[in-house]
Amino acid sequence: MKIAVLIFLFSTGVFATDGCRLWFDRSKIEAGSDCLTKCTVFKTDLSTFSCPERCSEFCESKSPVSKLLEKVAYYPGLTLEERKLISQYPKEALKAFLAKEKAESATMKQFKRDDEADESDAFRHFVWAGLLTKELGPEMAKKFLDAHESNQGSDNAERAMDLANNRAGLLAAERLQKNGSLTEDQIEKEALAALKDGTLIVLKPKGGPL
Amino acid sequence: MRRYLFFQPFFLITSLFFSFSYVNATESNYLENQTFMTLSQAEKRWGKKDFSPEEFKRETANNRAKMAVNLIKKKQFIGKRPAEIKKALGEFSGHFWSDNIPTYLIEEGWNQKTDSWQLVFLLDNAGNVKEVRIHKNCCD
């Protein structure tokens, strides 16, 4: 009886989370062209007999791109649209979120803060849009920007501000591209100029950059 | 028999530990690159005051800091949605990943060129608050 209770508790503790994921990790199968083959034939038992059906998912998640994505993307904060883009375009998603990190670092460097609805927010959106255009082209950039803003729960005015500042960044990046001067530095300079001349929308001004 | 009885709780605890630690692996990879403050550090820095949602809503960032430790310890927002947090505590300030993650600045150091800190209501994969932590808004 005690053994049965232990087995039950162990099963609910381990397999209530993702038993197949654990089964795959224990297999120590590495990412590569033969991942699927090895995974499909890896030994299973009564509790893991259906796990080989998820081999394509596990093999993809073992890829270097997926591992890097886990470091640069806060998964619980992703919108449904972002999750779809990640599964469709994982390499582009990695570039998108690395560009997001750069935009956030640039914001903190200029403003010594990373806030909502103020000048730092406007700058961050503009720069991210510009960097995305540089890395992925305007169409893919817009996909990721719109996906990030697709959360229905966000405030309408703040969402409108973000979309407008994204658009300003996309347009600026396209202009810079035509001039052959689409660099990170130039994108940031354009963002600061746009803030100064009132092109960017700022709902709650706080001042800056410093 | 004695060895078997000794093994039972150890086996149970170990299996539960590994199962729960795996669940958090994906989420914590991103959080590993962030800077958080412990509750004891927060208490030394800002002191401790009873948390009141009404007071928190109307106060400035720096006065909210005193309530941070008590807010976290009370755990009354665990399981809530971001919209419920906004209703209880007011408009978000600060920034963590996206507009959907509730954050509230509790120390604004930017105009003195010192650190800024915020309360972040971290979510689970279902979009409910899982944990509240004190996060460094700027600058590392």
Domain membership of residue B7 as a residue range? 1-33
Contacts of A151 in chain B (CB under 8 A): 98-100
Torsional class of A28: left (φ above 0), alpha (ψ -120 to 50), beta (otherwise): left
B12 φ/ψ angles, rounded to the nearest 5 degrees: -65, -50
Same domain, B79 and B69: yes
B54-87 b/e with 16+ CB inside 10 Å = b? eebeebebeebbbbbbebbeeeebeeebbeebee
The answer, yes or no, to whether residue A14 has pLDDT greater than 50, is no
Same domain, B68 and B23: no
Task: Look at residue A13 in the predicted model and tell me its pLDDT.
Answer: 45
| Nearest chain B CA: its distance from A75 CA (Å) | 6
Tell me if A74 and B97 make a contact (CB, 8 A cut-off): yes
First to last CA, chain A: 69
Our count of domains for chain B comes to 2
CA angle in degrees (0–180, nearest 5) for A157-A147-A106: 75
Say if CB B77 and CB B88 are below 8 A apart. Answer: yes
Same domain, B68 and B115: yes
The answer, yes or no, to whether residue A12 has pLDDT greater than 50, is no
Tell me if A76 and B125 make a contact (CB, 8 A cut-off): yes
Same domain, B104 and B123: yes
Same domain, B29 and B51: no
Q: Does B116 touch chain A (CB under 8 A)?
A: yes
Instruction: Average the pLDDT over A191-209 and give the result.
Output: 94
Q: How would you list the strands of the sheet with B103-107, edge to edge?
A: B36-37, B129-138, B116-123, B103-107
ipTM, 2 decimals?
A: 0.79
Same domain, B121 and B105: yes
More confident residue, A52 or A151: A52
Same domain, B86 and B57: yes
| Nearest chain A CA: its distance from B74 CA (Å) | 23
Tell me if A116 and B95 make a contact (CB, 8 A cut-off): yes
The answer, yes or no, to whether residue A173 has pLDDT greater than 90, is yes
Q: Does B90 touch chain A (CB under 8 A)?
A: no
Residue B116: closest CA among B94, B89, B132: B94
pLDDT range class, residue A87, cuts 50, 70, 90:
confident
Q: Which residues contact A87 (CB under 8 A, 6 or more apart)?
A: none
Q: Which residue has the tokens 């990879």?
A: B29
Contacts of B100 in chain A (CB under 8 A): 77, 79, 151, 153-154
pLDDT range class, residue B47, cuts 50, 70, 90:
very high
Instruction: Average the pLDDT over A61-87 and give the result.
Output: 84
Same domain, B86 and B21: no
Same domain, B56 and B115: yes
Tell me if A151 and B98 make a contact (CB, 8 A cut-off): yes
Tell me if B99 and A10 make a contact (CB, 8 A cut-off): no
pLDDT range class, residue B120, cuts 50, 70, 90:
very high
Q: Does B22 touch chain A (CB under 8 A)?
A: yes
Find residue B119's DSSP bridge partners. Answer: B104, B134
Which two structure tokens, joined as six digits, stand for A199?
């092109």
Q: In this predicted model, what pLDDT tens digit does every residue of B71-107 receive, in sequence order?
A: 999 999 999 999 999 999 999 999 999 988 999 999 9
Same domain, B48 and B26: no
Say if CB B99 and CB B120 are below 8 A apart. Answer: no
CA atoms of A200 and A190, how far apart (whole Å): 11
Tell me if A76 and B8 make a contact (CB, 8 A cut-off): no
User: Domain limits of chain A?
Assistant: 2-62, 70-196
More confident residue, B92 or A56: B92
Residue A111: closest CA among B4, B116, B88: B116
Same domain, B132 and B68: yes
